[in-house]
Structure 1
Amino acid sequence: MIRAKTISNSLPAGEILQSKERHTGALAFARLQSSPEEHGDCVEDNRLDNNYGISKPAVAGKQHTWLVEIRLHTRWIRRLFPFRDYGSEEAACAQACAYRDEVLAVLPPVTNYERHTRLHPAHSADHVPGVGRFIKGLKGPYWGASICVNGKRRRKDFSVRKHGEETARALAVAQRQEWLGLLEVSFLTQNSYADTLARRNFPERLTPPFDAVISEKLADPAIDARLAAIDKHYDSSLPARLGIAIHRYPANKELTIRVSGSGWPRPLIKSTLGAKTRAREPRSLDELMTLMRNKIATAIETLYNRNVRIWFFAGPGRALAAGEAFDFDKDFELTVFVPEELVRTKT
């Protein structure tokens, strides 16, 4: 199974993904620089073959995520790869391409042979696709076989009056089985890249047993388990991020603090800090800063560990550590990548 590259190793310690002050409208992004050779040309043009199943949907006129969307058999596979989760559009694209290829390695496309031999749920077990009994005016009942082989429609009838009921049916079944042997088996894909992957991953499906009826069915529980394992892997391999959002609500005289980590669903710790004490006494600026830092520090240790907390306040969160540098009149948002070596630390 192909594994996506872990990009957090290439992130500088304290790399700021997004820092935003809503009150002033200032917005700053520090994005990772990725070489085009590392991720291929999938970013350059959405219409390329290797972008099969991958697109960049626009939200409010802006493109901020890659979307993997594949429909195979009765399954609809959808997963988002936001640029901000991976540091850049190119890095998110590399993960989306790897995820798409892993999914296609689990779910084989339908072949034209399967399409010709698949039983409809309403049919009985002894029904043969492409073979049926009909009454043809004055000629009476007959069994007919039909198929479309390599773009050419074929049909042949066998009279019940001439051959008898059982023999006419057997002749029709044998005729359709003979036509199936002429079929050039191929995958029913919408894209040459998908066809290439299918031929590489499932070559045995291009040489099926040429019976009139195919009873093979994908093992749904096994496939569901493998798809769940792929999703779990990509959930756990997201680069470690730490998000801090502080919003001021003047009407309620409150501060709302949100601290988020990595993964899906994204872990979030939310707390509220009042501008007044329980005795309705206003808090001093130093007291507010101390309480706010304590809540953020506790949340960081809950999501990660003590070392991440120390690193954050010594680096990206210096504005929160120094009270004079923090403005309570403005909303504050900061998202940073956490060094991987700190995340792996147990303390």
Structure 2
Amino acid sequence: MAKAYRDAIVSLIPPAINRHLARTPQVRNKTGVPGIFPNVQWGKHPAWLAQLTSKHGIKRAWFRIDQYGGEDEARARAIAQREEWLRELPPEFKLSPGLSTETAEKYFGDLLDDSDEPEDEALIAAMIAEARKKLIEINARFDALRPRWLHLGLHLQTSQGQRLMLRVSDLAWKGKKHKVSLSLRRKPLAQGLAEMADNASGFIEELYGASVRDRFMSTHGSVFTVEGFDLERGVSIREIIERPAYAGVHPV
């Protein structure tokens, strides 16, 4: 499931290409051209330095101002040298660890053929806008395939007076969570547990409906009694409420 989701996302958003990244100025770049720097060769000869870093290593070449008839010519030679290195660099996608190179090449392999061309910013903006729309659809589809969970936690806190702490959630990322704290200063434990049972029942019904509430409370209702509640460790229950039938997932 995780691999299918990853490949679905990769199919939407074209990964960066090493040549394009190498032509993109960094924030700290002050020359306007990436990989081109004013430098001093051997500590005494003003020059322009061409540099290219890739997975194959680092290439450097100095172009001394006194050897090329001036600063502009030396800088131009440095830029030309770096472009030559870039043309020799095999084009490939820059993927985060674990991402599928095969999927990237399947959907965007033609971009590698045009890696010597400048990036079309208007085209990229249009692709991103379309990708955002499809991303909403993909997330909804995968959410529907994910098992639905119910987690209930009930603990006795004693650090600042005795309090019962209840937490009910669906365990989803950015999902629904309910928390409630109840002081036992003026009520016995049995009464506090009964009130927490009512809270839990309402929260579960809000999350999954009355039938799930009834089944859960019928199975685990004893934890809300003095005899069934563990004063030291509390209670933590996780259950799959619904496991969708898996019919296969494919990138869009």
Which category of TM-score, normalised to the shorter sequence, fits these structures? 0.5 to 0.7
CA contact (8 A) 1:141 1:161 kept: no
What SS class does the counterpart of residue 206 from structure 1 fall into? helix
What SS class does the counterpart of residue 338 from structure 1 fall into? strand
Q: Give percent identity, aligned residues only.
A: 24
AA aligned to 2:93 is F
Gap change, CA 1:112 and 1:271, over 3 Å in 2: closer
Alignment partners' CA distance in 2, 1:292 and 1:192: 44
What residue number does 1:241 align with?
Answer: 149
Gap change, CA 1:176 and 1:317, over 3 Å in 2: closer
What residue number does 1:14 align with?
Answer: none
Shift of 1:181: 2.8
Shift of 1:298: 1.9
Shift of 1:206: 1.8
Shift of 1:337: 1.9
Alignment of 1:10-89 (within 5 A): none
Shift of 1:159: 5.9
* Deviation per residue, 1:243-263 (Å, 9 max, x gap): 333335689666444333342
Tell me whether 1:196 sits opposite 2:106 in the alignment.
Answer: no
Tell me whether 1:183 sits opposite 2:112 in the alignment.
Answer: no
Alignment partners' CA distance in 1, 2:103 and 2:180: 45
What residue number does 2:228 align with?
Answer: 327
What residue number does 2:169 align with?
Answer: 260
Shift of 1:328: 4.6
Tell me whether 1:339 sits opposite 2:242 in the alignment.
Answer: yes
Specify every segment of 5 or more residues in structure 1 that has no aligned partner in the other structure, as ranges.
Answer: 5-94, 342-347
What residue number does 1:301 align with?
Answer: 205
Alignment partners' CA distance in 2, 1:145 and 1:288: 73
Alignment partners' CA distance in 2, 1:153 and 1:272: 66
CA contact (8 A) 1:236 1:263 kept: no
AA aligned to 1:127 is G
CA contact (8 A) 1:269 1:299 kept: no
What residue number does 1:207 align with?
Answer: 113
Shift of 1:302: 2.9
Alignment partners' CA distance in 2, 1:290 and 1:141: 83
Shift of 1:121: 2.2
Tell me whether 1:129 sits opposite 2:34 in the alignment.
Answer: yes
Alignment of 1:146-161 (within 5 A): 153=59, 155=61, 157=63
CA contact (8 A) 1:273 1:292 kept: no
CA-based RMSD of the aligned residues comes to 5.1
Gap change, CA 1:305 and 1:207, over 3 Å in 2: same
Number of aligned pairs?
233
CA contact (8 A) 2:23 2:34 kept: yes
Gap change, CA 1:164 and 1:320, over 3 Å in 2: closer
Alignment partners' CA distance in 1, 2:22 and 2:105: 19
Specify every segment of 5 or more residues in structure 2 that has no aligned partner in the other structure, as ranges.
Answer: 245-252
Alignment partners' CA distance in 2, 1:270 and 1:109: 45
Alignment partners' CA distance in 2, 1:261 and 1:192: 28
Alignment partners' CA distance in 2, 1:295 and 1:240: 21
Alignment partners' CA distance in 2, 1:259 and 1:136: 67
What SS class does the counterpart of residue 93 from structure 2 fall into? coil
* Deviation per residue, 1:155-188 (Å, 9 max, x gap): 4747667656655554554454344333322235
The alignment's TM-score, normalised by the length of structure 2, stands at 0.59
Alignment partners' CA distance in 1, 2:236 and 2:66: 80
